[in-house]
Amino acid sequence: MPLLTILDETASGSVLHRLELEISQETLTVRELIARRVHDEVADYNKRQPPVFQGLVQPTESERALNGYRLRPTKQIDGEQQAYRALEAFQRNGFFVLINDRQAESLDEEVWLGDGATVSFVKLTPLVGG
């Protein structure tokens, strides 16, 4: 199965996190891409239980930590709930997705993810006091 490299970036272009996602089809909707990415990172976290979860959105019952979110030891994350939170965050402009250097506009948009495709999730930081 081909691997798709996904980057989490800041608005200034700094790479926060890099992950590889196995994909079996060349086209997906943005909704399917986000859900697959979230389910994959949650499954990896639940299996390995590292001290910090480096995911797209903050899980419930977690606290923000440097480069991720800290959960209680042995706390499992619900993949469906995380996917729902991520899709909701996309719709509220909590992050945007660049696919092949073009911003995805809607969850139902179909995108090409074949050989050489690039995907970046750009997390937006809320303004303080505004």
| Measured distance CA(105)–CA(82) in Å, rounded | 21
State the pLDDT at residue 69. Answer: 76
Q: Are 45 and 57 in contact (CB under 8 A)?
A: no
State the pLDDT at residue 31. Answer: 97
Residue-averaged pLDDT of the chain: 87
The parts of the chain modelled with pLDDT lower than 70 are 1, 66, 73-74, 125-130
State the pLDDT at residue 130. Answer: 47
Q: Are 6 and 22 in contact (CB under 8 A)?
A: no
State the pLDDT at residue 128. Answer: 53
- List phi, psi (to 5°) of 122: -105, 115
Q: For residue 50, which amino acid is it?
A: P
State the pLDDT at residue 125. Answer: 67
State the pLDDT at residue 87. Answer: 97
